[in-house]
């Protein structure tokens, strides 16, 4: 059974940015507005934060509820985990997600700065240095036969794309939302077509165009 490396539900502005500039504690996505970027996802029945019994169960919901399907580990960039930069001054910061992080698997945080692993509920965060291939190997071993999610941000996804390690990508592009600056995934969605097949599927719910890539 092949273990895939997958990018899922990655939200992107029309001009190719996954997050804006100026990330800080109050603005995890910098000047990008997460409520706008994620509106299509928050409207689905399967969005993990949902506590009522409402929400759509059409196309967008299929994409959202696939999130945990056969995933055994996540790899994320340091800047997805934390607004801090440089060496850890203390170990108080444990991510944005509270005591019940939505991952439920081992998570490998890419950083040059060592830090001990810790566990919150059923998610364990490991802090790893090394090139993408080596980190992927660690994550695959931890995933125990299941696939590995590459959780972003854009800089980390680019790193793994450049090393040709990504097997599938789902990028949700907002056709009416521009950021002008921030962390960039691509100049154009066509860049990847030399190495990937692609389906382009406008959400009938509106507001987002799904780009589904898989390796040739």
Instruction: State the residues that interact with a second copy by CB under 8 A.
Output: 2, 45, 53, 56-59, 61-63, 65-66, 69, 167-168, 197-201, 203-205, 210, 212, 214
Closer residue to a second copy, CB minimum distance, 191 or 199: 199
Listed in sequence order, the residues at least 6 apart from 53 whose beta carbon sits closer than 8 Å to its beta carbon are: 45
CB contact at 8 A, 57 and 77: no
Which residue, 62 or 118, has its beta carbon nearer to a second copy? 62
Nearer to a second copy, 134 or 197 (CB): 197
Write down the least CB distance from residue 5 to a second copy, Å.
12
d(CA 154, CA 147): 20
For the CB of residue 119, give the shortest distance to a second copy in the complex, in Å: 26
Q: Which is nearer to a second copy, 6 or 126 (CB)?
A: 6
At residue 121, φ and ψ (nearest 5 deg) are 55, -125
- Report in angstroms how near the CB of residue 164 gets to a second copy at its nearest: 16
Residue 144 burial by Cβ neighbours in a 10 Å radius (0-12, 13-18, 19+): exposed
φ and ψ of 31, to 5 deg: -80, 0
Least distance from a second copy to the Cβ atom of residue 207, Å: 13
């Amino acid at each position: 059974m092949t273990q895939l490396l997958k990018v899922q539900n990655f939200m992107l502005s029309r001009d190719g940015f996954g997050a804006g500039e100026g990330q800080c504690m109050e603005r995890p996505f910098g000047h990008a507005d997460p409520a706008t970027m994620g509106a299509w996802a928050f409207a689905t029945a399967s969005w993990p934060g949902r506590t009522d019994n409402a929400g759509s169960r059409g196309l967008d919901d299929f994409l959202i509820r696939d999130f945990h399907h056969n995933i055994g580990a996540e790899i994320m960039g340091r800047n997805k985990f934390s607004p801090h930069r440089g060496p850890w001054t203390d170990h108080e910061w444990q991510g944005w997600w509270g005591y019940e992080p939505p991952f439920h698997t081992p998570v490998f945080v890419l950083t040059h700065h060592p830090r001990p692993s810790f566990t919150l509920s059923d998610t364990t965060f490991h802090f790893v240095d090394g090139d993408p291939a080596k980190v992927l190997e660690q994550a695959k071993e931890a995933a125990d036969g299941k696939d590995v999610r590459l959780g972003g941000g854009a800089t980390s996804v680019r790193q793994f794309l450049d090393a040709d390690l990504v097997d599938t990508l789902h990028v949700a592009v907002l056709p009416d939302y521009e950021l002008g600056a921030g962390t960039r995934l691509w100049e154009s969605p066509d860049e990847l077509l030399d190495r990937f097949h692609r389906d382009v599927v406008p959400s009938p719910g509106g507001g987002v165009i799904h780009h589904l890539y898989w390796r040739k």
